[in-house]
Amino acid sequence: MTYSQPMHQEQVLYQANPHTVQTLKSVRGHVRSIGQHYMNKKVRVQTIDGQTYEGTIVMVDPGHIYLAIPAAPRGFWGPSASFYNNAILPLVLYNLLVITLLYT
């Protein structure tokens, strides 16, 4: 099997600074450990873009924290409305600014 060169030169549009990569990995690992420690706890999360979410941490993987947030019934009220489950919201770990533990 041979590898042929592309007909044109590839141009790198962006390459992360190695120091920035190390910093992001460190932040990601730190936030992941916090998420694992507070699994099944109710929290408020604010992203670096200013979005705020409240929910319960239900899972953490190497790149995301998953919040169960209440799903509101849409346009239907009555006994069946209780069948709506929580929605699961994945949030990227390095996009988080603040995680606050909520005592309820």
Annotated domain spans of the chain: 18-101
Q: Which of 3.10.580.10, 3.30.70.1450, 3.30.2130.10, 2.30.30.100 would CATH assign to domain 18-101?
A: 2.30.30.100
Is residue 71 very low, low, confident or very high in pLDDT (cuts 50, 70, 90)? confident
Average pLDDT over residues 15-36: 94
Is residue 85 very low, low, confident or very high in pLDDT (cuts 50, 70, 90)? low
Q: What's the pLDDT at 76?
A: 53
**Three-class DSSP labels, the chain:** CCCCCCCCCCCCCCCCCHHHHHHHHHHHHHHHHHHHHCCCCEEEEEECCCCEEEEEEEEECCCEEEEEECCCCCCCCCHHHHHCCCEEEEEEHHHEEEEEECCC
Does the structure show a pLDDT above 80 at 3? no
